[in-house]
Amino acid sequence: MYFSKLLQAAFLAVVTLGPVLTGSAVAQAYQNNRAYGPAINGFNVEEVRRLTPGVELHFDLYGSPGGVATLRIDGATRNLNLTEVEPGQYTGTYTIGTHDRIRPESGVSANLRLGNQVATSLLSESLLQDNAPRAQRRGQLAAAPAIERFNVQGSPDLSPGNELRFTVFGTPGGRVEVAMAGARGVFFLPEVRPGEYDAVYTIRNSDRIAPDSRVTATIRANGRYTTSVLGRPLLAGGRVSEPRQARYCTNCATVEAVNVIEVSGNGNYLGTAGGAVVGGLLGSQVGSGSGRTAATVAGAVAGGLAGRNIQRNMNREQRYEVVVRYSNSGATQTLQFDNDPGFRQGDRVRVNNGVLSRDQ
């Protein structure tokens, strides 16, 4: 339907424009439309040593972006759907099951669907390392690809939005992918010059990248691959700073409250007796006869009570309670002090065997 509409439009253009648009232009337009169909530019597998249950077969397919890539292995009980990890780069891993009957000579075909059109490619490599195709046994496949240098242009900050530039020098004509601890998935370095692969990685919000995060580069060529570990820190300046780790301290705490407590001492015998004597002497000076006796007794009782209160006031003192909450557990503890310890609410402190000190 789409092609017929295209031809109709071309015919109308010929009629309208006359000699300006010829029949060859119509044919060229038809060919240009076919160019929009899917194309497979490369299809590879990581060769393995054996084809037993549990072994993983990793496939890479390179072709038109935005398509749906599927893979079929002769002797396998299921198909494999490949994931587009970068525009035009599809990858997937097939784990051999106990019911699979995959052999070294098993054919592997990949389909890349784009709209209603499908491109198909057959794997030209063997699944086993020892059974590589004869055409590839001669030449570069005899040796694995090499990584000569693996560098990074670090960033002064590893927070989201900052950039890290990675560069790999090695075997030309390969494909280089980089995996970084703290970042999800892998990212690819395009070949900017023969044997030189370079790309910038922008740190994402979900990344948890540390200055000393392990970074590995893998170069794949002719069905083989080589991996190299970055030997430099990710922070600019070439120095690994102390990792940002959550502080864990068992005796660290924060002052939640400082309470002032007034403690009144009980009146002792000396204060009570002294007050009674003074009150009795004063009471004996009042009246005469039985009235004097009653006044003396009342004065002694009142004097005793007064002496007790005087003694209690003399023994009144202030003490201090400091309530702290531990950072690691959230538990609280109250510590007693006879004098003002000098701490205030919100101070960071440490508690060592009941001794409170400031956390420097």
Q: Write down the domain spans for the chain.
A: 2-34, 40-137, 144-229, 252-259+318-358, 266-310
DSSP assignment of 8-66 equals HHHHHHHHHHGGGS-HHHHHHHHHHHHTTS--EEEEEE--BS---TT-EEEEEEEE-TT
Architecture of domain 40-137: Sandwich (2.60)
Confidence of residue 21 (pLDDT cuts 50, 70, 90): very low
Residue type at 194 in one-letter notation: P
Closest of 38, 58, 61 to residue 122, by C-alpha: 61
Structure tokens belonging to residue 142: 């005899």
Q: Which range has the worst mean pLDDT, 173-177, 194-198, 288-292, 346-350?
A: 288-292
pLDDT at 294 over 80: no
Confidence of residue 319 (pLDDT cuts 50, 70, 90): confident
Equal CATH topology for 40-137 and 144-229:
yes
Closest of 41, 55, 175, 43 to residue 104, by C-alpha: 55
Question: In terms of pTM, does the model score above 0.75?
Answer: no
**CATH superfamily membership of 144-229:** Macroglobulin (MG2) domain (2.60.40.1930)
For residues 2-30, give the mean pLDDT: 43
Confidence of residue 298 (pLDDT cuts 50, 70, 90): low
Residue 9 to residues 18, 23, 37: CA-CA distances in angstroms?
Answer: 14, 13, 20
Is residue 197 within 8 Å of residue 190, measured between CB atoms?
yes
Q: Which residues contact 304 (CB under 8 A, 6 or more apart)?
A: 272, 273, 275, 276, 279
